[in-house]
Amino acid sequence: MYCRTLNENGTWNARCLHCFMTIASAVETEAALEAFEANHMCPEGIFAELNAENTTQPAHPQFN
């Protein structure tokens, strides 16, 4: 889960609600925001993510 906030200049910030880390700031598009969220390796959510992989989540795409 991520908390998105819209800045006065129209850019976005995103914070992870599990570890409270700011994962993106002053991002211009929601698409870019989603990319930051997808790439966040959450130290608090790693176990939940491992469980999710055994159910419905597809494998994470690799960016090499």
Residues near Zn ion, by CB under 5 A? 16, 18-19, 42
Cβ-contact 10, 27 below 8 angstroms? no
As measured in angstroms, the least distance from the Cβ of 61 to Zn ion is 19
Residue whose CB is less far from Zn ion, 8 or 48: 48
Residue whose CB is less far from Zn ion, 1 or 9: 1
One-character DSSP codes across 38-54? HH---TTTHHHHHHHHT
Residue whose CB is less far from Zn ion, 20 or 63: 20
CA atoms lying within 13 Å on the CB side of residue 59: 3
